[in-house]
Amino acid sequence: MSFTLHGLAVSGGIAIGRAHLMSHATLEVSHLVIAPRLIDKEVARFDAAVARVREEFAALKGRVQNTPAEFGAFIDLHTMILADPELAETPKQLIRERRCNAEWALVQQMETLVAQFERFDDQYLRERSYDVRQVVERVIKELVGQPGRMALRTGKGVKEENLIVVAHDLSPADVIAYKEHRFAAFVTDVGGATSHTAILARSLRIPAVLGLLIARQLIRDDEVLIVDGTRGVLIVNPDPRVLDEYRLRKSQIELERSKLRRLKTALSSTLDGVDIDLHANIELPGDVANALDGGAEGIGLFRTEFIFLDRGDMPTEEEQFEAYRTVVKGMAGRPVTIRTFDLGYDKDLHPEKVQGDRMQSNPALGLRAIRLSLAEPKMFHTQLRAILRASKYGKIKLLIPMLSQAYEIDQTLLAIERAKASLRAERVGFDEAIAVGAMIEIPAAALAVNLFLRRLNFLSIGTNDLIQYTLAIDRSDEQVSHLYDPLHPAVLMLIAHTIASAEKVSIPVSICGELAGDPNLTRLLLGMGLRQFSMHPAQILSVKQRIMQSNCSELAPIVRRMLRYEEPARIREQLEKLNALN
């Protein structure tokens, strides 16, 4: 059966390949013996997880009303499997009788059931073992809590380039692990368009669609898929006519990309001669090659926390120094903006530990980024020393994430001074005049931007978080992604205010959020006065093309008028006109 699913377009391009379902590594669960006094608690934990999955299925059922009837039937089937006493009750007996933990009990029972299904002669019934596994996976995930790492398994002789990863959810750490692979595309059920998972998808330069809700439940291993990462469409088992059409579209996109490559060495300046800096966002030292290949004139954002996100412990000063030096040397004299760790929220070294030690009910508003660094002075000192040491090898700028208060800036500057003093005492060389800047990604920071301008050397607007906090929309949550609106008048006002305030006192300001890499917004940002953009390397040439076709003096008055509009329809209409200017 051929069918189409719609999700969030997060990484452009078209991929055609076979489905490769990621099973959650949690099926390889830990085997624990439960103390007799904790048995009731373990049974209750199991019941609670089953109840949560039941609720999740009910919610999904409500949300698939406008999709073909088969989708509803799948959910019904999975709800039935979940309600079956063989799955909902027998594991509790195992917990009581064999004193095993809930996960282990469930997996044991699953194996028994799967073996029974696989003995059926009827193919339809045999295939139901697959559904049992999927339902068990969902419950295990609830039991384990925080999403863990996905198990990567590719069969012998299967070319990764032909595989399309289908997962319920991928953590940033999972996607980082994919950098060592060459999958054709990936799709997931959950995730927002500017989630870190989405950002990493773009850095893999493969098409990706997130927020497909139930793709993982509907798709079978090895089915033929088309992923249209530009439109957010996934076609399962396409008919030959559709396949031909997409093959054609794929080659057209490749042709357009190769034409764009001619701009690589062109100057990025507007028709009226205004020079614009186009920098790259990177996550790993290995991304430098992509940045240079994309024509970046510098690194505008190095998200350092990704260096070790998939290794689970803190890197030493030496390891960090090597990573930073590699980037600086790789960029050969071009500026490199290194952001200190932005850990917390969806990027944690030890998700289970953090959850256990200090339950965070709202991690996006919790101890993340600079707040965590200031709370862990040893970790911060180590990182600052490593960055300062690397500053001897090129032009490094130090960027601090998530600052909101004046005293946080002052504490940070003090910490930098301390790190410098320790290096001086050891006679280790570094750039004494290293520039220090702040990410403006909290509305309070944008509104009180003068506090920042008085204390720091540069600003970089992190629109991904700025939009999240201004609109109170979790950037990782696909359920509210339709409300995540970069063109909301409040967002535009904060960006414009930050740019204009910095310009008044001649402090450089850039945007390093995803918005900077959207060519549809380039003219709007130029009209606001933005002269430095930092984005994913793959976007640089499209944005450069738009810059070369624009005239700053013509854009500024139009954008000034546009910023007075509050009606979204008016703003969009004006943006279209702006983009249509010759």
Catalytic residues: 196, 512
Binding residue for ligand PEP, selected from 192, 295, 462, 486, defined by CB under 6 A: 462
Is residue 512 near ligand PEP by the rule CB under 6 A? yes
Is residue 342 near ligand PEP by the rule CB under 6 A? yes
Q: Which does 513 bind (CB under 5 to 8 A by kind): Mg ion, ligand PEP, none?
A: ligand PEP
Tell me the C-alpha distance between 125 and 77, whole Å: 12
Token pair for residue 559? 């954008």
Cβ at position 438, least distance to ligand PEP in Å: 12
Is residue 513 near ligand PEP by the rule CB under 6 A? yes
Tell me the C-alpha distance between 307 and 561, whole Å: 43
Token pair for residue 368? 């993340």
Residue with token string 């299904």: 117
Tell me the C-alpha distance between 492 and 528, whole Å: 9
Is residue 463 near ligand PEP by the rule CB under 6 A? yes
Cβ at position 403, least distance to Mg ion in Å: 11
Tell me the C-alpha distance between 437 and 441, whole Å: 13
Q: Which does 463 bind (CB under 5 to 8 A by kind): ligand PEP, Mg ion, none?
A: ligand PEP
Is residue 501 near ligand PEP by the rule CB under 6 A? no
Token pair for residue 571? 């703003």
- Contact between 387 and 324 (Cβ < 8 Å): yes
Helix, strand or coil for residue 85? helix
Q: Own/partner pairs for 153-157, CB < 8 Å, 24+ apart?
A: 153/23, 154/20
Q: Which does 382 bind (CB under 5 to 8 A by kind): Mg ion, ligand PEP, none?
A: none
Nearer to ligand PEP, 74 or 341 (CB): 341
Tell me the C-alpha distance between 228 and 230, whole Å: 5
Q: Which of 476, 463, 486, 471 is nearest to 533 (CA)?
A: 463
Which residues between 425 and 444 bind Mg ion (CB under 5 A)? 441
Number of H helices, E strands in the chain: 24, 16
Cβ at position 135, least distance to ligand PEP in Å: 34
Nearer to ligand PEP, 270 or 534 (CB): 534
Is residue 514 near Mg ion by the rule CB under 5 A? no
Buried b (16+ CB within 10 A) or exposed e, 316-346: eeeebbebbbbbbebbeebbbbbbbbbbbbb
Cβ at position 299, least distance to ligand PEP in Å: 13
- Binding pattern to ligand PEP, positions 282-301, x when CB under 6 A? -------------------x
Burial of residue 259 (CB within 10 Å: 0-12, 13-18, 19+) is: exposed
Where does this chain touch ligand PEP (CB under 6 A) — which range of 37-45, 318-326, 461-469, 548-556?
461-469
Binding residue for ligand PEP, selected from 11, 383, 412, 464, defined by CB under 6 A: 464
Nearer to ligand PEP, 14 or 467 (CB): 467
Cβ at position 414, least distance to Mg ion in Å: 23
Tell me the C-alpha distance between 508 and 10, whole Å: 29
Binding residue for ligand PEP, selected from 465, 474, 478, 518, defined by CB under 6 A: 465
Cβ at position 211, least distance to ligand PEP in Å: 17
Which residues between 450 and 479 bind Mg ion (CB under 5 A)? 462, 465
Cβ at position 370, least distance to ligand PEP in Å: 12
Nearer to ligand PEP, 72 or 363 (CB): 363
Please give the order of strands across the beta sheet that includes 8-11: 3-6, 233-236, 224-228, 14-21, 163-167, 185-188, 208-210, 8-11
Binding residue for ligand PEP, selected from 24, 303, 368, 371, defined by CB under 6 A: 303
Nearer to ligand PEP, 100 or 199 (CB): 199
Is residue 518 near ligand PEP by the rule CB under 6 A? no
Burial of residue 391 (CB within 10 Å: 0-12, 13-18, 19+) is: buried
Which residues between 474 and 503 bind Mg ion (CB under 5 A)? none
What is the total count of residues that contact Mg ion (CB under 5 A)? 3
Q: Which residue is nearest to Mg ion (CB)?
A: 465
Q: Which residue is nearest to ligand PEP (CB)?
A: 462
Nearer to ligand PEP, 129 or 468 (CB): 468
Cβ at position 362, least distance to Mg ion in Å: 16
Where does this chain touch ligand PEP (CB under 6 A) — which range of 46-54, 183-191, 462-470, 477-485?
462-470
Tally the C-alpha atoms within 13 A of residue 261's C-alpha that lie toward its C-beta: 9
Which residues between 175 and 234 bind ligand PEP (CB under 6 A)? 199
Cross-strand pairs, 437: 399, 458
Nearer to ligand PEP, 14 or 199 (CB): 199
Is residue 304 near ligand PEP by the rule CB under 6 A? no
CB neighbourhood size of 127 (10 A): 13
Q: Which of 218, 222, 225 is nearest to 246 (CA)?
A: 225
Q: Own/partner pairs for 103-112, CB < 8 Å, 24+ apart?
A: 103/26, 103/29, 103/30, 103/140, 103/143, 103/144, 104/29, 104/30, 104/31, 104/32, 105/46, 106/29, 106/46, 106/136, 106/139, 106/140, 106/143, 107/27, 107/29, 107/136, 107/140, 110/136
CB neighbourhood size of 213 (10 A): 21
Which residues between 441 and 460 bind ligand PEP (CB under 6 A)? 441
Cβ at position 185, least distance to Mg ion in Å: 26
Report the interface residues with ligand PEP, using CB under 6 A: 199, 301, 303, 342, 441, 462-465, 512-513
Report the interface residues with Mg ion, using CB under 5 A: 441, 462, 465
